Amino acid sequence: MIFKQNPPNKTENTETETALFAGGCFWCMQSPFEKLLGVLSVKAGYTGGQGQNPTYQDYAQKGRVEAVQIVYDPQKTSYKELVELFWKQIDPTDKGGQFADRGHGYRSVIFYSDDAQKELAEQSKDALGKSGKFKAPIATEILPATQFYEAEGYHQDYYKTNPERYQAYRKGSGRADYLEKTWGKETEGYQKPSQEELRKTLTPQQYKVTQEAGTEAPFSNEYNENKMPGIYVDIVSGEPLFTSLNKFDSGCGWPSFSKPINQENITQKEDRSLAQTRTEIRSKKADSHLGHVFDDGPGPEGKRFCINSAALKFILLQDLEKEGYGEYKKLFEK
C-alpha cells in the first residue's frame, strides 16, 4: 500500500475503477483514501435506500447512508488494498452506527459493483473475523452498489476546509481514540513507497539524501536562506517536521532549527560514519534521512538540527490550510 502527498491528475487515458464504502460520518472517510497513491478522487455522498436526490436533511429518512465514492487507477492500487484501508477507519463490530453517530444512516457497509469486488470484500471480512483482532463478530454489511449521490459542496474535503472543527469532531466522536487504540497511531495509513516509486517521484538529489543518507552542498541548497513563514515537511511522507519560527542562521550552510514541531515525528540514531560519532535525525513515518543534531544551538536546549533542504518541502503559512496543515496556523498566532 503506497501513499502519496498530493493526488495525481487524472488523464483522459486513465482506465479507472470505483469503490464505494460507508463508514459513518463521511468527513472522516475522505482523508485516508485521498492519501493513497492511485486514488484519483474521493467524493462524500449518499447511497442505498429509496427516492431521488437525497440531501443532508433527508438522506437517512430515505434509508440511505453516508458514504464515499472512490475513483482509482487499478494499475497503481487495488480494490483489496482499499478494503484493507477501509477496515482501519471504522469499528466493524458496531451494528448501530459508528462512534458518536448512531442510526441506520451511519452504519458501515461495503458496496460492491461486481462479483470480483464482492468476493474480495467477503474474503477480507472473513479474514478479519478470524484474525482475533475483535472479540465481537464483524457487523459490516456487504451489499450491491446502488446509485451514489454527491453530498453538498460544504461536505467535500471537510478536513481541509475546516481542519480545526474536523479534528475536534474526529476526537470528540471517539473515532480517533478508538482507531489509535485498535490499530496504532497510523490509523489513516502510511506505508513508505517502494524504492522504484521513490526514484520516479524524487529528484536524484532528494533520493540520495533521504534514501542513501547523502549530504547536499552547503549554502547553495534551496532552504538555507529561506526566511518566509511556514512549516517544513518530509519530502516523502509530508509529515510535519520543523517550523520557520524555530529556524535560525547557524552559518553552517544548511537549514538549522532549534527544535522540531513535534519530537514524536523524528527519530535519532547513532551515526559512526566519517570516522566520528554523530546523532542522525530521521523522519518517523517515512524513515527519511534528514540530517544531524548537534549541541551547539541557541536556547535552553542548546540544540542545532542541521537538515538537508533536499529532505524537506516548505509549506507557506498562507497555504497551510489549503495543503491540509491548517492545525499549524495557530503556532503563528502567538
Domain ranges for the chain, please list them: 17-183, 195-332
Return the CA Rg of the chain: 22
Q: Averaged over 244-256, what is the pLDDT?
A: 96
For residue 252, indicate whether it is catalytic.
Answer: no
Cell of 202: 524524487
For 21-25, 208-212, 227-231, 330-334, which range has the lowest pLDDT when averaged over its residues?
330-334
20 close to 26: Cβ distance less than 8 angstroms: no
Q: Which of 2, 20, 22, 25 is catalytic?
A: 25
* Residue-wise DSSP of 203-246: -HHHHHHHHH---PPSSSSTTTT---SEEEEETTT--EEEEGGG
Higher pLDDT, 159 or 12: 159
| Residue with the larger pLDDT of the pair 208 and 191 | 208
pLDDT at 264: 80
pLDDT for 96 beyond 60: yes
What pLDDT does residue 117 have?
97
pLDDT of residue 14: 54
For position 42, what pLDDT does the model report? 95
pTM, two decimal places = 0.57
Kindly report the CATH number that applies to the domain delimited by 195-332: 2.170.150.20
- Kindly state the average pLDDT of the residues 325-332: 84
pLDDT band at 9 (very low <50, low <70, confident <90, very high): very low
Higher local confidence (pLDDT), 277 or 167: 277
DSSP state of 3: B
Local confidence band at 194 (pLDDT 50, 70, 90 cut-offs): confident
Catalytic pick among 306, 307, 315, 320:
306
Average pLDDT over residues 239-254: 95
pLDDT at 1: 53
pLDDT tens-digit map of 37-93: 788 999 999 999 888 999 999 999 999 999 999 999 898 889 999 999 999 999 999
Which DSSP letter does residue 87 get? H
Percent of the chain with pLDDT over 70: 93
- pLDDT of residue 22 exceeding 60, the answer is yes
25 catalytic per annotation: yes
pLDDT tens column, 281-308: 999 878 899 999 999 999 888 999 999 9
Q: What is the pLDDT of residue 31?
A: 87
The rounded distance, in Å, linking the Cα atoms of 247 and 75 is: 41
CATH class for the region spanning 17-183: alpha beta
